Amino acid sequence: MQLVLRKLVFLSALLMIGCTGCGGIHADSRIIPDIPKNTGFVDQQSYPRVVSAINSARESVQVSPQSAKAWGHLAMVFDAHEFSSQAQACYRRAMECDDKDPRWEYLLASSLEQADPQQAERLYRRQRDHELPGCEPQIRLTELLLAQNRIDEAAAVLEPLLRSMPNNARVQFRWAICCDLRGERAKALDASSKAVSLAPNSPSVRELYARLLFADGDVDTAQNEMKTLRSLSQRDAGWPDQCLEEVRMMRQDPSWQSTKAQWLSQHGQVLQAIARFETLSEEYPEEWMFAIDLARAQLSIGKKEGAVATITKALATHWEIADLWKLRGSAHLLCESWTQACDDYRQAIDINPSDCAAWSDLAFAQEQRHLTSEAIASLKKALMLDPLYDENRVRLIRLLLEQHDCLGAGDQIEFLEKLTPDHRELKSLRKACLEEASQSLFQ
């Protein structure tokens, strides 16, 4: 009897453990976040690759519900596609599964910055720099504090960073902002100058330096800084962050896929880029931009006829898109089909009359067909849209001289001289105009 009782107790215990275990796994599976129903991803089945990436990550969690890596990966996929609350829930689960990996806390904090800055601040404060190579929680903390106007607190976080990371441009940049906000201009200038030497190609760093110089009365140096600035890329790429970059690389939406393919194209891997653009064009035929990307890549390796075919196919359903007509015009130019080029540019201009490049290229095609008067008119239109595009003005002057219009050419030369007094062709154009004028006199 006792043996039976013991066996019964033992079996009951086993059953209870089993149920708890199964219930535990079942409970984990039930709370794996999913894409909300009322989204284009689900309702309209837009971007199937995104859905596929999320589902694949969810499956990994279902298989290994105690895996921090699986939860973290799912979090990053949600985060990459701006499903913030789902991402945050998954980051938290990843932290519960493995509290030693600092990535999840850092990424959760970064995800919370807009919605819950206090929570983000708490998370950043728990972290230490150097735990995550290429990611800087303390610097992000100072940025958060500065955004909330907590300048002295930001300074308190920055001071030890200045000692431990004196050659970090971002630290120097934030310290310069901090000092400026506290009215400590000399310190701000000093830090800003250091930031420029460490990150000379950063527009935001140079802009701050220029502003501080100007406020300090050093107007000439400030103006020179602005000149250097204008030669840099207009859009600031921001500060590199390895952790966030890893999240970004998980994006599967087509515009991001297109950006990556363009990067391949720009870095010499054109055939790979073409393959990706072809896939995107097939998967998303309604998004004509991919046809443009594909055609551009084809043109870059001389596949002119291929580019024409690509765009012609897109135009069948997107005849109202000026950029498609314009690009096909460019392809015809490269094929030296001047008449077709003219026709296509005209179509582009009919749709979008304010496209300077279309007018300019139309003028080129008209020149090739010796339609000089039309080319002059087109160049004048292009110059009205972008008066500072000197190349067009030079072309216009040459065409006016060809037509023996010395007065018109003279006006344009005067204009060019006013706008760009040191233009390399001014001298030769003036000479040509004088020669033309003399010939006209003798005739």
Partner 1 sequence: MCAVGIFSGCTKASIPKASSVATVNEENASVVSGRPTSLFSAINPASIGISFVHQTLGRHDYFLPEIIGSGCALVDVDGNDRVDILAASLSSADGTAGAQPIGGTVEIFFQNTNGTFSKRDNSTLVIAGLAMGIAAGDLTNDGLPELLVTSYGEDSLFLNEGEGRFRNVTSESGYSNPAWGASASFVDFDRDGWLDLFVTNYIDYTARPCRQLGGGNPDFCVPHLFPGTIDRLFRNTSHEAMSDETPRQVRLQDCTAESGLAGMKGAGLGVAAADFTADGWPDLYVANDQMANFLWVNQRNGSFREEAVLRGCAYDRQGRSQASMGVAIDDFDGDGLWDLFLTHLEGEYHTLYRGHAGGLFEDDTHAAGLADVTLPYTGFGTGSFDIEHDGDVDIVCVNGRVRRPAGFPAQSAAYFSPYRQRGQVLVNRGGVFQEQNPKEELWLEEQAVARGLAVGDLDRDGDLDLVVNRIGEPLGIYRNDSVKTGHSVRVRSVLPQCGGRDAIGAVITLVTDRGVFRRLIQPGLSYLSSHEPWAHFGTGAADAVREFQVLWPDGSTSLHPGGDVDREYILEKP
Q: How near is the Cβ of 83 to partner 1 at its closest, in Å?
A: 6
In this chain, which stretch among 211-219, 267-275, 296-304, 369-377 interacts with partner 1, using CB under 8 A?
211-219
Residue 366 tokens read as 């008209």
In this chain, which stretch among 88-96, 266-274, 309-317, 411-419 interacts with partner 1, using CB under 8 A?
411-419
Distance CA 363, CA 375 (A): 4
Give the Å distances, CA to CA, from 39 to 7, 8, 34, 183, 272.
Answer: 54, 52, 11, 48, 32
Contact 295, 331 (CB under 8 A): yes
Q: Which is nearer to partner 1, 41 or 124 (CB)?
A: 41
List CB contacts of 429: < 8 A, sequence separation 6 or more. 394, 397, 398, 409, 413, 416
Is residue 289 close enough to count as binding partner 1 by CB under 8 A? yes
DSSP 8-state secondary structure symbol assigned to residue 352: -
Q: How near is the Cβ of 43 to partner 1 at its closest, in Å?
A: 8
Interactions with partner 1, residue window 226-255 (CB under 8 A)? 226, 229, 234-235, 253
Angle at 427 between CA 391 and CA 432, to 5 degrees: 85
Is residue 44 close enough to count as binding partner 1 by CB under 8 A? yes
436-441, long-range: CB < 8 A, 24+ apart = 436/401, 436/404, 436/406, 436/409, 437/406, 437/410, 440/404, 440/406
Interactions with partner 1, residue window 51-80 (CB under 8 A)? none
List CB contacts of 372: < 8 A, sequence separation 6 or more. 366, 399, 402, 403
Q: How near is the Cβ of 4 to partner 1 at its closest, in Å?
A: 59
Q: Which is nearer to partner 1, 222 or 309 (CB)?
A: 222
Is residue 82 close enough to count as binding partner 1 by CB under 8 A? yes
Interactions with partner 1, residue window 83-102 (CB under 8 A)? 83-84
Binding letters toward partner 1, positions 322-351, x by CB under 8 A: xx----------------------------
Distance CA 228, CA 238 (A): 18
Spacing of C-alpha 362 from chain mean position: 30
Q: Which is nearer to partner 1, 285 or 306 (CB)?
A: 285
Q: Which is nearer to partner 1, 151 or 309 (CB)?
A: 151
Is residue 200 close enough to count as binding partner 1 by CB under 8 A? no
Distance CA 287, CA 2 (A): 76
Is residue 386 close enough to count as binding partner 1 by CB under 8 A? yes
Is residue 18 close enough to count as binding partner 1 by CB under 8 A? no
Residue 45 tokens read as 């089945």
Spacing of C-alpha 347 from chain mean position: 30
Is residue 288 close enough to count as binding partner 1 by CB under 8 A? yes
Is the Cα torsion angle 140, 141, 147, 153 positive or negative in sign?
negative
If 0-12 CB within 10 Å is exposed, 13-18 middle and 19+ buried, where does residue 23 land? exposed
Binder among 28, 153, 184, 207 for partner 1 (CB under 8 A): 207
Neighbours of 86 (CB within 10 A): 21
Q: How near is the Cβ of 39 to partner 1 at its closest, in Å?
A: 4
Q: Which is nearer to partner 1, 41 or 91 (CB)?
A: 41
Compute how many residues bind partner 1; rule: CB under 8 A.
Answer: 56
Is residue 15 close enough to count as binding partner 1 by CB under 8 A? no
Is residue 390 close enough to count as binding partner 1 by CB under 8 A? no
Is residue 149 close enough to count as binding partner 1 by CB under 8 A? yes
Q: What is the 3-state secondary structure (H, E, C) of 227-241?
A: HHHHCCCCCCCCCCC
Binder among 214, 335, 343, 426 for partner 1 (CB under 8 A): 214
The values of phi and psi at residue 180, to 5°, are -65, -45
Q: Which is nearer to partner 1, 8 or 384 (CB)?
A: 384
In this chain, which stretch among 43-51, 66-74, 121-129, 422-430 interacts with partner 1, using CB under 8 A?
43-51
Contact positions vs partner 1 (CB under 8 A)? 36, 38-44, 46-47, 50, 81-84, 114, 143, 146-147, 149, 177, 181, 204, 207-208, 210-211, 214-215, 222-223, 226, 229, 234-235, 253, 286-289, 320-323, 352-355, 384-388, 415, 418-419
